[in-house]
Structures are given as C-alpha cells and as structure tokens.
Amino acid sequence: MSVRLKLTEIFLSIQGEADAVGWPTVFVRLTGCPLRCQYCDTAYAFHGGEWFTLEQVLERVASYGARHVCVTGGEPLAQKACIPLLTALCDAGYRVSIETSGAIDVSPVDPRVTRVVDMKTPDSGEEARNRTDNLALLRADEQVKFVICSRGDFEWARDFVRREALPDRCTVLFSPSYQQVEGRDLAQWIIDERLPVRFQVQLHKYLWGDTPGR
Ligand code: SF4
C-alpha cells in the first residue's frame, strides 16, 4: 500500500525563518502536534487535514516550480510517513528543510535534509518536552531555534546556549515571540551579552501578518 500523509496545507511562499530565509519555498504542512505551545500560530493544523499519497504530495510540490521545500506542521515527525516523504523530496532534487518541535527523535531524518530544531523555553509552556539528545545529532549547517517570550526566557536560553556550547556545534537562532517580546529589546539583550546567536524575526509575518497559507 502506498505511503499516505495527512496534510493541512501545501503552499508557495517566502521562507520567513532560519538559514533559508528569503527563498521562494513550498511549505508542506503536516497535520497534528502533540505539543501545545502557548504562542502557537498553527493551531489550525492540530486537527482535520486531508490524506495524500506520497506521489500526490510530490505532484503538488512540483506544480509550484520552486527549488526549496520546507516540511513543517504541526509537528511533522509525529507522522511516521514524514521520513519517506523527506527522502523522496531529496531524491527529486529539492533543497529540503524540516521544522520540528524538538520533542521527537530527529535521527531518522535523511542526512540531505536541513533540520531546524526548536528548544522550547519555560514560557512556551512545553519546556518539559525538550529532547536534548537531538542536539548532539546536529551538523554545523543545521539550526536550533529558541522562541523568546520574555526576559526570563532570554536568560534561560542564554544559560542553555552557554552550558551546551551550542554555537560551537550549529547555528543558534533567537526569535522574539510575535507580539510578546519587542524585536528591538531581544536584539539589544543579545548585543549586551555578546551572545554568539543569530537574531531573526518571522519575515512572513512582517510581510503578510499572522495569516494561514503564508
Ligand atoms: S510545536 Fe509548533 S505546532 Fe506544535 S504547538 Fe508548538 S508551536 Fe504549535
């Protein structure tokens, strides 16, 4: 039987985050997530969705004619079929990335895929779900992302980054939680601490607001 995946949406947009920021990118949003971060902007992907075969997903992705594909959610790795999907996208020649919550083992992901792994801060409400074993698996071109909701979150993340020597292993991204922390404040905190992390904002939200399918 063909591999099937439950999808909330597939769309073409501009990558708003991480190293691939700015590239036209096809987003494949898988349905479902076992976490409930308080700032979640994709709660519409928790339930519902539509079943696609792997071949149907590849057809839809190809129809957009983009080089970059981002597999996201929800939590995409919560569906086992995400692993063969990632491999199939790499085989088809795309530059593939995955955005994952950090709560699930990332080791089965095809090594051609760039993994962007969250570390959940205390104010996300999901800190207990962090799977720190994932950090040791990341290559230098891969990324750990902290969404910062408060000054307390910043201090927690700063201490975490230093304790784990994360900047020596991979790229570390700090992003202000949308409408919870001023980007300017977070940028200043990073500068003041001389913290070797990359500040980023969610570019797509500055372009289009908090709109699904963008
Ligand atoms: S892991 Fe991502 S999709 Fe899941 S609740 Fe948190 S922000 Fe939302």
Parse the chain into domains and list their residue ranges: 4-208
Tens of pLDDT, residue by residue over 57-107, are 999 999 999 999 999 999 999 999 999 999 999 999 999 999 999 999 999
Q: What is the mean pLDDT of residues 4-24?
A: 94
Tens of pLDDT, residue by residue over 35-62, are 999 999 999 999 999 999 999 999 999 9
Q: 4-208 is classed in which CATH architecture?
A: Alpha-Beta Barrel (3.20)
The reply, when asked if residue 90 is annotated as ligand binding, is: no
CA of 74 to the centre of ligand 1 (A): 6
Of 56-60, 67-71, 114-118, 198-202, the one with minimum mean pLDDT is 198-202
Q: What is the mean pLDDT of residues 182-196?
A: 97
- Report DSSP letters for 9-40, one per residue: EEEEEE--SSTTTTSEEEEEEES--S---TT-
Distances (CA, A) of 89 to 32, 69, 73, 82, 121: 21, 8, 16, 11, 31
pLDDT confidence of residue 1: 57
Q: What is the phi/psi pair of residue 142, to 5°? A: -100, 175
* Mean pLDDT score of the chain: 96
Ligand 1-lining residues (CB < 6 angstroms): 33, 35-37, 40, 42, 73-75, 101
pLDDT band at 17, cuts 50/70/90?
confident
Atom of ligand 1 nearest to the CA of 43: 8
Q: What is the mean pLDDT of residues 148-156?
A: 98
Kindly report whether the global pTM for this prediction surpasses the value 0.85.
Answer: yes
pLDDT confidence of residue 213: 75
Beta bridge partners of 12: 26
Atom of ligand 1 nearest to the CA of 101: 1
96 neighbors 113 (Cβ within 8 angstroms): yes
pLDDT confidence of residue 2: 79
pLDDT confidence of residue 121: 98
4 neighbors 51 (Cβ within 8 angstroms): yes
Residue 211 has pLDDT above 80, yes or no: no
